[in-house]
Structure 1
Amino acid sequence: MSIPDLIRKKRDGQALSDEDIRTFIQAVTSKTIQDCQTGSMLMAVWQKGMNDAETETLTRAMMSSGEVLSWPTEWAGLVLDKHSTGGVGDKVSLVLAPALAACGYKVPMISGRGLGHTGGTLDKLESIPGFNVNQSAAQIVDLLTSVGCCIVGQTETLVPADRVLYSLRDATSTVDSIPLITASIISKKGAESLSALVLDVKVGRSALFKDLESAKELAQSLVNVGNRLGIHTGAVLTCMDATIGRCVGNSLEVMEALEARKGHGPHDLLELVTTLGGVLLLINGSVSDLSEGRKQISNAVIGGTALSKFQAMMEAQGVANNVAGTLCSAHTDYYSVLGKCKYQVELATPADGVVLDVDGLTLAEVLQKLGVGRSKVGQPVNHCVGAELLVSLGQRVQRGSSWLRLHYEDPPPSPDQINRLENALTLGSHDETRHTHSSVKEMLLP
């Protein structure tokens, strides 16, 4: 069938055959299809959806559109990874990848850049002078051999079909299609030839999916397709209303992740790291129960071995030995290495009360405009811009006390942006507080 015929078929609500889907992906990969036709197919999928068989075939076709990584036979059952659907202040990967490596696993973490209000792991790491996220397949094998983990960008030869579709999904407002999200995520993880994968599916005000029902539908789709591709796949649905930890912004999040590996991290970050790592070890068959898996990850983080692995990873990916050593030392001035914005300002609480909520989405959207993120692919970011929360949910505060420290450059935040930040804080009385709730909402295991 011709490309217009395939578009028409899906537009009219019919299921595409395996051959139809492979024809479409081959045309995308070989660039023999017009962007307008690709966009039309994406919109047809967004409107009419895909059944389980179509989604699986789309994922397999995308995975096979380029190179599929292969590993030494002795690594069988040891190659693990984690993926998050995106959040505010999400620096979990920076802690979990080296923790898993410290436990003896191989972690070829292929990550992305920030777009819109959601931060990108690669942008965070590039705030470290010399850190090189661009590694070939052969270099990835070397990194896993010498260190046990790496965090890199998608190579030119890995799932090239996804590179095309990913950029056009944003331009065609089809980002929130569950079949397209599933195929994009699992095709890349399938190309990593993983033994096991855990998915951190965010739900809430600051996430792509705001309600538990739709987030669970996505999680189930990801778990189903991942397992059908032969990857032991599980998902954890986690709350994404406020922020993860207290820092938002590239270099500030690196600092907080380093502090976590030194045993000083915020409770919610450690909970996510140990839960996701524990689930990953459980579904891989490495431990008999979740508590054992959580304990192994916690010991690696608190005991310092994850910090040593992160230092080794930094050095293997281009960071000078003295820079990596300074960042990982017990007492260090992070700003001397990572830089600091010219200006800082602290916002004061408007009244006495208990901190009930901080709107993470508002915080991220304002910071994006100030240079933390980008509105289109390829835009530069300012690694030093960001914000530090100076309070915790459930904390009692007095009027006039500082609750947020903003790091910025010229031009300064506008009065409207300051007003939005001030309105992101919700105060109330003690009996209204919800701060004791865990960020983990539900788990989907294979």
Structure 2
Amino acid sequence: MSSSTGSSSNIGTSAGEQTSAKHQLDTLPAELLKLIVVLVKEQDERLHDVVDTFETMGWASRVQGNGLNAFSSTCKRLREAALPFMCEHVRSPHLKHPLFQLGALPPALLGGVRKIDCSAIRRETLALLVAGMSLLPNADGMEISRDTMLALSQTNADMANALAAIPSEIIENTFRRCRSRWRSVTYCDGSESDLEQALELFCDPAKLERLELEQFELFELALRHSTQPARLEHLSRYHHLTSLSIDISSDDLLDTADVPNFVRLPALRSFEIEGWAQAILPLAEQMAPNVVDLRINFGPSRLETQPAAFHLPHLRHLTVEMLWTAADLLHAFANGWSDDDIAALAAKCASRGIEFEVKPCSRVETEHRAFTSMSRDWPADVKKVCEKKGASLRDLLDWATRRIHWLEQTGDVAGMREMVEVLTELKQRQVLEEV
């Protein structure tokens, strides 16, 4: 009877064939399993970027990355390998979950938490975080916002809630005692006027290495007198700060004349700045004179005036993201070069040891945004570049078509596999474009 049951559930395959894949995974070395988990996680993150881009179009559910969850469901050993990577970023709902409050979650899962998001948090949840901080031994990143600071400053808390009634001083002092653990801090929707208070509460000058200022408001202090301190002067206290990212609010009218008033941070090696004001171009030289990795996301399609060339002697990696790849936008980084051909500019950067990259838009937004807001009065140099590149791409596609036809006629399997590998990235783009 048992033989009959076994044969009916494994029609066409032997028991050894059915379980061989699972056994092979079970016997893999721990180091290799960890590498596989990391690769699956990175793929999920790339798909998450696609979700961020397309969620307003109602496509998010079609491309949501869920590979790590599926991978961890294969067997117990794979789940154990995946646990440290399953929840690296926790938010308010996680902190309020009974399993977290009771300390009943697996240590491997809690040990994998790297960042705590307190940007949208209530007073009582901050108190829960203070109580459960010891459960997250490896968390070294914190995300805060203006709402976080408001939650701490509330004076009329609901006295019926014991956690909400905890005095602000107790919560703030606890964060001050723990601030040496934070290596990376993100501050959202803040402004220059409240930056000092936020940094003092959450950032240790001797420990902070990376700071992100998202949707940061500078306009309120745009007009400065020479007798006042440099703008963002508070950052100069953080001597170990090597990475800074500033996303200037789109409402700011930062003027180029205001750039010399900003603080200089010679220790910065990685600098990312995003905004819609022309002043963000020279601001890189002013704030990060020794930058090695520079990333600039520039909003407008063209500059009002030609930017002056500036000198960044240690620059090795330059990424420019903009709506249009007009050569005049790159003049500031080219020390006077005026090539219309982006490839020629990249070659010259390479000759100076600089890795150069131009992205039409952030992540994979590319044509989806460009085609919906395309300007009819393109600069002449952009038309010329596009026509030249378009002709070259058509020639390349014609060659690929002829090559594939020849491989079909000759039955060259190896050659066909090679073409599949070459065109895989193009196929992935097609899938994303047509979902």
Normalized per residue, the structure richer in helix is 2
Which structure ranks higher in relative contact order (CA pairs < 8 Å, sequence separation ≥ 6)? 1
Do the two structures share a fold, i.e. TM-score over 0.5? no
